[in-house]
Amino acid sequence: MSQLVFIVFQDNDDSRYLAEAVMDDNPHAEMQHQPAMIRIQAEKRLVMNRETMEEKLGRDWDVQEMLINVISIGGNVDEDDDHFILEWK
C-alpha cells in the first residue's frame, strides 16, 4: 500500500518559495494547486532544507518560519535547525 506524506501551504508569496524549494529537494513529490492552497505529497518522505530555502529567498531563513504558512501536514515530523522532515518509517 502506498504511504503518502503531505504538506499544505497557504498560497501566498512566502509559500511559493517554500513550494519551489520542496520540489527541488524532492523530485518524487507531486504538487497540487487548490483554491488558496498548495498541497505537496510524496511517497514516504519529504524534506525541507534551510539551505535551499535561503538560496531561494536570498536571506537567512529559520525553519520555524514555515509555521506561519503551513496549513496541514501528514507524517511523522522531525525538525532541527537545518531541516524539516516528514516521513512514514
Partner 1 sequence: MAVQNKKLNLKDKYQYLTRDMGWEPTYQKKKDIFPDEDFEGIKITDWSQWEDPFRLTMDSYWKYQAEKEKKLYAIFDAFAQNNGHQNISDARYVNALKLFLSGVSPLEHAAFQGYAKTGRQFSGTGARVACQMQAIDELRHSQTQQHAMSHYNKHFNGLHDAAHMHDRVWFLSVPKSFFDDARTAGPFEFLTAISFSFEYVLTNLLFVPFMSGAAYNGDMATVTFGFSAQSDEARHMTLGLEVIKFILEQHEDNVPIVQRWIDKWFWRGFRLLSLVSMMMDYMLPNKVMSWSEAWEVYYEQNGGALFKDLERYGIRPPKYQEVANDAKHHLSHQLWTTFYQYSQATNFHTWIPEKEEMDWMSEKYPDTFDKYYRPRYEHLAKEAAAGRRFYNNTLPQLCQVCQVPTLFTEMGAPTKLSHRQLKYEGERYHFCSEACCEIFEHEPEKYIQAWLPVHQIYQGNCEGADVETVVQKYYHINIGEDNFEYLGSPDHKRWLSIKGLKPADEKKDAA
79 lines the binding site for partner 1 (CB under 8 A)? yes
68 lines the binding site for partner 1 (CB under 8 A)? yes
Residue placing its CB nearer to partner 1 in the complex, 6 or 24: 6
| In the block, residue with C-alpha cell 509559500 | 15
1 lines the binding site for partner 1 (CB under 8 A)? yes
47 lines the binding site for partner 1 (CB under 8 A)? no
Rounded-to-10 torsion of CA 72, 21, 76, 5: 70
CA 24 to chain centre: 10
71 lines the binding site for partner 1 (CB under 8 A)? yes
